């Protein structure tokens, strides 16, 4: 049953699913959080660009909007035609001249999400990517270990906070996106990831057995 049919069965109106690939910088949009019109904000798209997060996350064409919605998590990005273009994910700070900061919403394009039927059922729609359980930062063209996700594979392999990740399988990495994509290119979850590290001037190699991130997380309760 399609998401629209399911919504109609429950008596709930739904937005048509759009295609954010046609949305461009400058387009007028609406960011709508839970709570009806009173929680909707008239906004515009100010950027379409790559976004890399410290938690092993990359979007090729994230959507950035302003003004920022104060309740951005899960907010709907609605295009001029009333269609759903994306789902709010983060609020990020964009630096301006004079030390000022412009808050923006980062939105995940809707076409990147699995079909709603798969989300509701919990079905896996693609092989899991290899996951290290490492939090990293990009500083001066270097990827630095900033922390760990619990007792994940990176911590178990002996990585330390402050380690500089120089290469993956012999290929140099200088950005977060380079690092994540190099690990993902090794294969599916469970593949071994050979890293070259710099720890206070000591350069050495370590191999990490990657995990499936989804098995590390708490499972949702599906009815």
Other C-beta atoms lying within 10 Å of the C-beta of residue 142: 14
Paired with 70 in beta bridges are: none
Report which of 27, 18, 111, 101 is spatially closest to residue 65, judged by C-alpha positions. Answer: 27
Is the pLDDT score of 179 beyond 90?
A: yes
pTM above 0.75? yes
Is the distance from CB of 125 to CB of 114 less than 8 angstroms? yes
Could you tell me the CA-to-CA distances from 216 to 87, 105, 141 in Å, in that order? Answer: 24, 28, 30
Per-residue CA distances from 97 to 15, 92, 102 (Å): 38, 17, 10
Q: Please give the CATH topology (third level) of the domain spanning 130-216.
A: Pdz3 Domain (2.30.42)
The answer on pLDDT for 5 being more than 60 is no
CA distance 101 to 80: 27
Lookup result for tokens 């990293």: 136
Give kind and range of the element (H or E) at residue 3: helix 3-9
Confidence of residue 122 (pLDDT cuts 50, 70, 90): low
The CATH number assigned to the domain with range 3-121 reads 2.40.10.10
Residue indicated by tokens 């990490």? 208
pLDDT tens track for 184-213: 999 999 999 999 999 999 999 999 999 998
- pLDDT tens per residue across span 15-61: 899 999 999 999 999 999 988 888 899 999 999 999 999 999 999 99
Where are the domain boundaries for CATH 2.40.10.10 in the chain? Answer: 3-121
Does residue 23 sit in helix, strand or coil?
coil
Q: Report whether pLDDT(2) > 70.
A: no
d(CA 178, CA 185): 10
Does the pLDDT of residue 121 top 80, yes or no?
no
Dist CA 5 CA 145 (whole Å): 46
Cβ neighbors of 170 (< 8 A, separation 6 or more) are 194, 196
pLDDT digits (tens, 9 = 90+) for 73-112: 999 999 999 999 999 999 999 988 888 999 999 999 999 8
Residue 93 CA to residue 110 CA, distance in Å, equals: 23
Q: What pLDDT does residue 219 have?
A: 65
Residues of the chain with CATH 2.30.42.10: 130-216
Is the pLDDT confidence value at 215 over 90? no
């Amino acid at each position: 049953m399609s998401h629209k049919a399911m919504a109609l069965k429950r008596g709930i109106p739904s937005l048509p699913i759009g295609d954010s690939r046609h949305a461009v910088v400058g387009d007028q949009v609406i960011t709508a959080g839970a709570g009806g019109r009173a929680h909707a904000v008239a906004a515009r798209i100010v950027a379409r660009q790559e976004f890399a997060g410290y938690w092993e996350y990359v979007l090729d064409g994230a959507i950035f909007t302003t003004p920022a919605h104060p309740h951005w998590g899960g907010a709907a990005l609605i295009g001029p035609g009333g269609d759903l273009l994306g789902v709010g994910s983060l609020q990020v700070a964009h630096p301006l001249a004079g030390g000022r900061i412009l808050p923006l919403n980062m939105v995940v394009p809707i076409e990147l999400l699995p079909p709603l039927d798969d989300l509701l059922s919990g079905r896996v729609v693609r092989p899991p990517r290899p996951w290290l359980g490492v939090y990293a930062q990009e500083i001066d063209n270097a990827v630095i270990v900033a922390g760990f996700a619990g007792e994940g594979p990176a911590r178990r392999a002996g990585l330390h906070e402050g380690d500089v990740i120089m290469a993956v399988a012999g290929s140099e990495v200088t950005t977060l996106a380079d690092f994540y994509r190099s690990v993902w290119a090794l294969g599916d979850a469970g593949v071994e990831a050979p890293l070259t590290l710099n720890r206070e001037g000591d350069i050495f190699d370590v191999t990490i057995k990657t995990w499936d991130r989804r098995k590390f997380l708490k499972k949702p309760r599906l009815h």
